[in-house]
Chain A
Amino acid sequence: MRRVLLASALLTSALTACGGLPPPSTPLVATSVEARPDPPAAPEIEPPRFPRVSARSRAGGTLWYVPDAAHSGVMIRVQTRRGEDGAHGRGLTQLTAGVLAEELEAILGPGRALGGANIHGAYLQVSSRGGDLDAAFAAITRVLDGPAPSAERVDRAREVAIHAIRQSHESPHSGAGASALAQLHGRPSDLEDGVRAWEEIYRYFGADAVDACRRERFAPTDRVLIVSGAFEVSEVRESFERHFASERPDPQRLPGRAREVTRPRNAALSRPMNTSQAYVLFARPAPEPTADDRLLFDMIVDLLGGTFDSRLNGSLRETHSYTYGAHAFVSAEEDSDVLFISSAFAPADVAGALHDLFRQLRNVRDRPFSRGEIVAARNRMWARTRAVIESSAFPAYLSQAWTMGSTPARFERELASLAEVTPEALHRVARRRFDPQEGIMVITGDFARVGGFIVERNANGFTLRR
C-alpha cells in the first residue's frame, strides 16, 4: 500500500512539473450511495424567549441587568436616547462618544471600549472579564461625570475624524454611501463639497464643545447601563450603588431639530473613479424602528439580499456570476434609518447587472414572496434573535428597547407575531415601502470601461437605457 501511495505521489509531482494535473481517479465518488441516510426533515424553529431583565434607577442613571452564566465575561452598554438629533453640531455626538471610548480604553486597556452615535442615541460599550466589573463601572462614571476629556485627545480625535471622512469619501464603497445619504437629506452630494462641509463643521469642535455635549447627551436621566454576562447579581448591584447612586448635575436637555428626508432629485449619481470594479449602491429611507411595519420591512430586506440564498444573490451571483456578493441591510445613520443595497461588478458586466438588479427591485413589489420564503425568513429572524440573546451582543440589542421606549416583552411578542405573516401582508408592505421615487442609485467606477448609459426612474421602478 505504501508503495502504491509513493508511486501516486511521484506521478503527481511529475505531472505537475510538466504543467498538467493528473486526471481525477475513477470512480469519482468512493462512497457508496446505497443505504445512505435520508436528508433530515427541516426542524421547527420556535420564536425566541427573552430572559428576565431587571432594572433599578438611581440619581446617576438607570441599570438594566441580565445575569447569564453562559458567558465568560461581562458586556456593559451605556445607551442614551439622545444621539445625532441636531441639538448639537452635526457629528459632535459621534465625536464625543469616540473620545469617551478612548478615555475608557486609556483606563481599562486597549480594545476594551467603543463608542458611537446615530439618530436614535449615543452609546459606549465596555467589555469586562476577570473580575474587574467594579473597575469598569468606576471608569464609566469617571468618563461620564468626571473631569473633561483632555484638549489633546479631542484635537487628535477631531483630526483623525476629518481624515477618516476624507478617506471614506474617496473610497468607492463608503463614498457612494455618503453621496446617497447627502441626496436623501438635501445636502451637497459632490465629493469635495461634502468633505469641505464636514471640515468646516468639525473645525469648531474643541474640548469645550465635546465636554458640553458629553454632559448634555449622557445626562443621568437619559442613560441606561445595560449589563449582561457572567456576574453575581450582588456584585453588579453593589457596584452600581457605589458609582451611580450619588446626586450629580443633570443638565437641561437641548431640543432636537426635526430633519426631513427628501425625495432625491436624481435617479442616479455617477462617480467616476479609477477603480478595477464598478460599485453600485441603492439607498432609500427605511421605516422608523417604531413603525408598525418595520419588522415586515426587515423581513423583506432579508429576503431580498440578507443571505446567501436571497433573491439578489441567487440571481446576481449564482445565476449570472456578476458579483462576489450583493448585500441588502438597514443602517441607523445620523438622519434616519436607511436601506442600502450594494454590490460590485466587473466594468463589462455593469449594464447586465443593473438590468438584473432593477428587475429584482421591481419584483419586490410585483412578485409577492412565497409562503416558503416567508417561513425561511421568519426562522432566520427568530434564530438570529435567539443567538443574539445568548451572545455578548445582547446589551446592544436591548439598548434598542431603551431608545424606542419599548420593552423586551414587547419585542418578544412582536417577533412571535411573525408566525402569522401572510404573503399578502408582506406584499402590502412591499408596495408601500418600496416606492422607487424615494430611492437613489450611485454608480462608481471607470466609465471609460463601464460605458455610458442613462438610469431612469418612474413609478414602476428603475430602468437603464443605453
Chain B
Amino acid sequence: MARLALVLLVLLPLSSRAQAPDVAAPEVAAPDVAIPDTSLPDAAEVESPEEPPVMDAPEPPPLMLTNDAPPSRPQLGEAWSSQLGNGLRVVGRHDPRRSTAAVCVSYRVGTRDDPSGYTGLAHLTEHMMFATMERMPRGMGGLLESAGAVYVNASTGSDETRYCEGLPDSALDLALFGEAERMAYLLASLSEAQVATQRRVVLNEGLERGRGGPAERLMRLDMEALYPRGHVRLRGDRSERDVGELRLRHVQWFHQRYYGPGNAVLAIVSPRPQAEVMERVREYFARVRGAAPPTPRSSESVTLDAPVRIDFDSRLLNQGLRLTWPTPRLREGDDAALDFVAMRLWTLLDEELLDFRLLSVSARQFSARDGSEFRIMATAAPQVNLDRLLVAIDRAVARVQTELPDAHEFASLRATLMAHRADDPLSRASSLASSALYDDAPWTEERERARYESVTAEDLRAAALRHLPLDRRIMVFNTHDPDVPLEGRVYVNRGGR
C-alpha cells in the first residue's frame, strides 16, 4: 500500500502535489488554493474548496517512473571554466531553473593603469565601449535594450573594468556578438567627435558623483593613511583632472594595450549547458586577436604600529567616525571570521549606541585581493560628541573580543551572512568574472558557504582580538564646519589619540 501511494504521488503533477493538504499539514482541513482571478482573495474566498484555481501555471515537466526516487528538479550546475586559443578565459554556470541569462566581461585594467598625466583614461575608454559602430548603429545599449535586456552597464574600478548585461536567454547571442564586436573592432569606427562627446559626459559624471568634493575626500583619508603612495589598493586618481585633454589616439592606445582577449574574462550564466554556450562563444570570440596581456602587478601587505588620528573639518552636513584596521586579504587567514565579527559588532553597536541617535552605524570587512580593511562607520547629527561616541564604540569592540556568542546567536550570524549573498544570474556572472580575473578557482556560493561553515565562535573572538587592536588603527573624526573651504581641512596626528 505504501508503495502504491508513492507511485500515485509521483504520478501527480508537481504543482498538485505541492498543494495537496495531506502531504505535510494534515491538521489543516481546507486546501490552499491558487489566488482567484476574478476578485479580491479575502479569507472567505480563499478558504472555499470550490474556488477554482484559475492561474495558468506552466505545465510541469513529464515525470519518469523508472524508480522510486523522487523526480529530480533542475539544479544549478557546477561552475565551469575554459579558455580559447587567443587567451580569453571563459567561465560560466548552467542554471536551467531560470529563463534569464547574464553576461559579464571583465578586463584586467582600471584607474590604477591611467598613465601619469592621463587620469580618467580608463574611465573614458569604458564610456567609448558604448559608442555606435558600423554593425551596432545604436551602440551596445540600443542593441540589447530593444531585445529585452534589463541591465546594460559597466564600471571602472581600480584594477578591473567590468561590462555586464542581464537579459532573456534568447538574447544571449546578441550579447556575445556585441561584446566580441567591441573587443575586436571598436577602434575601426571611433571618431574624435565621439570621444569629445563622451569626454563631456565623463566630466558631467564626475560632477554628479561629487569627484574631488568633501564626501569623496572623506572616504579616501583612511586609505591614504594606511597604504603607501602607489599601492594598488589605493584607488586610481578619481579626480580625472586630465579628461579634458584626452583624445582619440589616447583611447586607441589604451584599448589596444588592455582590451585584448588575453587580458579578459568572459562569464556567462545561462539556462543552456556549457557545450552549447561554448559553441556560441567560439563563434563570436575565437577569431578575436589581441596582444599579450600586461604583467599583473603585485601588492605589499601593510601593518600599523601606532594609532593614527585624522580630523577632517568639512561642510558635510553630518559628522561621523570612521575606524579602520588593516586585515587579511580576500579568502586569506581570518577573512571569513572577520565577516562574523562585523555582523556581531553591528548588532552590538546598535545596542550600545542607542542613546546617540545615530543616523547610521555599520561594521564591515572590506575584502579585496590586494589588501582588506575592517571598518566601523558611524554617522551622527551635528550635536553628538564624537569622543564619547568613540568610547561607546570601543565598548562594543571589547565585548566582541571577550564575549563568546552562544550557539543560537552564532547560527543566526551565519544565517544573516548567507542571507546577504545575491543569487540572481547577473550577480553570479559578475562575481564569476571578477574572481576569475585574478583567481584560478572562480567564486561560487558553495565556496562561500564552505568558508563560513569552517568558522567557529572561538574563531570569531580570536579574530576580533588579533585584528582589531584599539591602539593600532586609523580614526577619522569628521566634523561639520560651514566655514572651511569646499574641499575641507585635514589634520593628521600619527601615534596619538
Contacts and interface: CB of A to CB of B under 8 A. Distances in A.
Given A30-B290, A37-B284, A108 B412 contact: yes
Interface residues of B, number: 117
A346 B445 CA distance: 44
Interface stretch (B16-24, B217-225, B296-304, B392-400): B16-24
B477 interface: no
A24 B256 contact: yes
A391 interface: yes
B314 to A, nearest CB: 14
A64 B35 contact: yes
A143 B32 CA distance: 26
B451 interface: no
Interface size, A (range): 35 or more
Contact of A69 (B97, B415, B445): B97
A128 B37 CA distance: 29
Contacts of B343: 109-110
B249 A23 contact: yes
A32 interface: yes
A239 B288 CA distance: 55
Interface string A290-325: 000000000000000001110000000111011110
Contact of B173 (A40, A110, A382): A40
Contacts of A379: 146-148
A160 B359 contact: yes
B25 interface: yes
Contacts of A135: 412
Interface string A339-371: 000001110000000000000000000000000
Nearest to B353: A156
Given A73-B418, A234-B24, A321-B197, A33 B204 contact: no
A233 B18 contact: yes
A57 B284 CA distance: 53
A42 interface: yes
Given A131-B415, A379-B147, A232 B100 contact: no
A45 B208 contact: no
Contact of A45 (B47, B142, B170): B170
Nearest to B76: A70
Contact of B357 (A32, A109, A156, A241): A156
Interface in B48-101: 53-58, 73, 76, 95, 97-100
B354 A156 contact: yes
B146 A390 contact: no
A309 B46 contact: no
A233 B419 contact: no
A153 interface: yes
A52 interface: yes
Contact of B318 (A55, A56, A167, A375): A167
B316 to A, nearest CB: 10
B465 to A, nearest CB: 22
B354 A24 contact: no
A52 B146 contact: no
Contacts of B355: 152
A238 interface: yes
A308 to B, nearest CB: 3
B135 A346 contact: no
B43 A407 contact: no
Interface in A381-435: 382-384, 386-387, 390-392, 401, 405, 407-410, 412
A129 interface: yes
B42 A318 contact: no
B30 A56 contact: yes
Interface in B23-46: 23-25, 27-28, 30, 32-43, 46
Contact of B149 (A25, A105, A238, A383): A383
A50 B15 CA distance: 13
19 contacts: A21-B250, A28-B187, A28-B252, A31-B184, A36-B287, A43-B173, A52-B34, A55-B35, A105-B350, A132-B415, A167-B318, A237-B32, A238-B24, A276-B213, A307-B141, A323-B201, A380-B149, A383-B100, A390-B99
Given A40-B177, A56-B28, A409-B37, 4 more contacts: A5-B292, A31-B288, A112-B416, A318-B197
Ranked nearest first, the 7 interchain pairs of A and B with the lowest CB-CB distance are: A234-B24, A383-B148, A308-B141, A109-B416, A130-B415, A43-B170, A24-B252
